[in-house]
Amino acid sequence: MKKIGLIGCGKMGSALWEGIVASGVCSGQDGFLFDTYAPAAEELAEKTGANLCASNAEVVAQSDAILVCVKPQGMLETLAELGETQDKLLISIAAGVKIATIEAAVAQSHRVVRVMPNTPSLVGMGAAGFARGSSATDADAQLTQQLLESVGYACEVAEGDLDAVTALSGSGPAYVFLLIESLIAAAQEQGLSPEIARQLAVQTVGGAAKMVEQTGEEPGVLRENVTSPNGTTFAALESFRGDDFSAIVKRALDAARDRSVELGRG
């Protein structure tokens, strides 16, 4: 069994690590953790049976693959503290930090995979895209996918597509939260209590997503199936079309993608 390291025990790092242990991809005793905020690493180690390390370099020395779950602005400093150990797999979740930047920072002494996860990983429903670096192997990609699938869905893409992944699934949960928020507010204005409006909105959005997943039907087909001519759903959809709902969504994703590109350059 592979020994997995985790540098950065914040919410995303902890979610990934707990999912990895719960799925059996790695046992707690084969995990090695470090965080500059010691209580975070201590709590996660106690919860999962993992080993606490005293530094980033110790994590790297003890592990076959290392999840680097630090903020983008702290990435280069973290990479400078990996020590002299060579040829390990580094899996980075730092948004906007390109593979070439990471490889240059470690003088290409490690294999690199770059990941764009999302926050539903915290509840085991994540969606992630990943891209491999210049020396990452098929086995590295397979291990990365296995680790990410412990908290949801994962797919390999070209690094150039990670900006689109960021716009769709990376930022996407916020779009859905906005939809749910708006549904709740509108339902309350129509007289429903906050509790009932919230529950109905959450169940409706979750149920619709589950239908797309489980039936295998295209969303457009499912939409048409529930739209009677001149019925209530038809009236609502006509209102959406009047506001050019599809164009609104496209502009939002384009804006997120373009910002991702900008961050990657800077």
pLDDT digits (tens, 9 = 90+) for 178-233: 999 999 999 999 999 999 999 999 999 999 999 999 999 999 999 999 999 999 99
Please give the average per-residue pLDDT across 120-140, as a whole number: 95
Distance between CA atoms of residues 210 and 197, nearest Å: 20
Return the percentage of the chain with pLDDT > 90, whole number: 91
Structural domain spans, the chain: 4-161, 172-265
Please give the average per-residue pLDDT across 96-115, as a whole number: 94
Return the percentage of the chain with pLDDT > 70, whole number: 99
Residue 58 pLDDT > 90? yes
- Tokens 């994703």 found at: 253
Distance between CA atoms of residues 165 and 250, nearest Å: 14
Q: How confident is the model at residue 265 (pLDDT cuts 50, 70, 90)?
A: confident
Spell out a b/e string for 187-225, using b for 16 or more CB atoms within 10 Å of the CB, else e: beeeebeeeebbeebeeeeeeeeeeeeeeeeeeeeeeee
pTM over 0.85: yes
Residue 1 pLDDT > 80? no
The CB-side HSE value for 113 (13 A sphere, CA atoms) comes to 29
Show the DSSP H helices in the chain as ranges.
11-23, 38-48, 56-62, 75-79, 99-105, 138-148, 162-165, 172-189, 194-215, 219-225, 232-242, 245-265
Q: What rounded mean pLDDT belongs to the chain?
A: 95
Predicted local confidence at residue 43, as pLDDT: 96
pLDDT digits (tens, 9 = 90+) for 141-169: 999 999 999 999 999 999 999 999 999 99
pLDDT digits (tens, 9 = 90+) for 2-48: 899 999 999 999 999 999 999 888 999 999 999 999 999 999 999 99
Assess if CATH 3.30.2130.10 describes domain 4-161. Answer: no
CATH topology of domain 172-265: ProC C-terminal domain-like fold (1.10.3730)
Predicted local confidence at residue 2, as pLDDT: 87
Residue 266 pLDDT > 80? no
